Structure formats: structure tokens, C-alpha cells
Amino acid sequence: MKSNIETAEIAQPYAQALMSVAQSKNLTEEFGNDARSLLDLLQNSQQLRNLIDNPFVASESKKAVITQVLGEGGNPYLRNFLLLLVDKRRIFFLDQILKQYLALLRQLNQTVLAEVSSAIPLSSEQEEAIKQKVITITNARQVELETRVDSELIGGVIIKVGSQVIDASLRGQLRRLSLRLTNG
């Protein structure tokens, strides 16, 4: 198994190549939407992940599945890129390549990624309030939220933007109170 650093070094040039193609064809946002959909599909389909990750599955089988997943309406540039990854035996790095492409897209659009953990699913109003708070803190033009539910938080949210963490969870507040009481 390769380390995360090795994986990033392999994925980065492919992500940059995909961005170059997207920019030259004025398809950066479309590719971004496709990348998000593919990442979601990879996270939710263990079967697809197993097929892509398995070195013993024939390249032609992988290509057939990719073509089927993208469908007829899929972007031909993106499809060709994915088929090239199969030929170069780099399809194993697909999820890292897509994540790095999205990071490049955020950089291009002056968008920050805010990872939000909450005790319960957020309403659209709450998501909007978090976006506005992050824009205020970071001076970004836009904010992209990546949300997940963590019932261990009890209540509230934890927002992570880059290396900055805002812990407004009930669990975090209880932990801070406990520290004050033991140190007091």
C-alpha cells in the first residue's frame, strides 16, 4: 500500500492535467460537478471501488464499467481521461485525483472548503449561516461545505477550514468546562 504522500505525488500531475483540459474547453465547473458525483459514487459503492482497486480485473472490464457509469451523456473528455487512467494503471488513484482536481478548482474560484460535523443534519438556513461565517473569517469569495453527521457531538457543530478548527459542539464545550474545573 502506498503512503498518502506518494499517492498525492502521483495524483497531482493527473489532477493538473485534468484541470488543463477543463480550462482549455471551458468545462471547469462541469468537470467539478462530475468529480463530486464520481467521488460520491465511489464512497457509496463498495462494488465499484473493489472493481477499480483490483489489479486482477482486466483493463477492458474496467473501461466498460467506466463507460457505463458515465453514460452516453457523459463528457467525452472526462471519459477519455478516465480510460487513460486505466491504460496507465493509475485508475487506483481516481479518488485522490478527483479530490485534488476539486482543490485546484476551489483555488481557481477563490473558494474554501469547510468540513462541517454536526450532531444532526443541518437545515439549508444553518448551512447558509455557516457559509457566511466562514466567508467572514477567511475572506474567500465562496464556501463549499462538506457535511457529515457525528452523533457523538451531542449538539452543535465543528467547522474545519484548512488547519483552523472552530469547535462549537456541546461535546467540545463540556470538555473545555471539564479542563477548567480540573485546572481550577
pLDDT tens string 82-125:
999 999 999 999 999 999 999 999 999 999 999 999 989 999 99
To the question of pTM greater than 0.85 for the whole model, the response is no
Question: Of residues 81 and 179, which shows the higher confidence score?
Answer: 81
Which of 4-8, 127-131, 134-138, 151-155 comes out lowest in average pLDDT?
4-8
**149: nearest Cα among 119, 113, 114:** 119
Domain residue ranges in the chain = 2-107, 112-183
Question: Which residues of 84-183 form beta strands (DSSP E)?
Answer: 111-118, 142-149, 156-161, 164-169
The pLDDT value given to residue 101: 95
**For the chain, what is the mean pLDDT?**
89
pLDDT of residue 1: 46
Please give the class, per CATH, of domain 2-107: mainly alpha
Local confidence band at 71 (pLDDT 50, 70, 90 cut-offs): confident
Mean of the pLDDT values across residues 30-54? 92
The whole-angstrom separation of Cα 56 and Cα 50 is 11
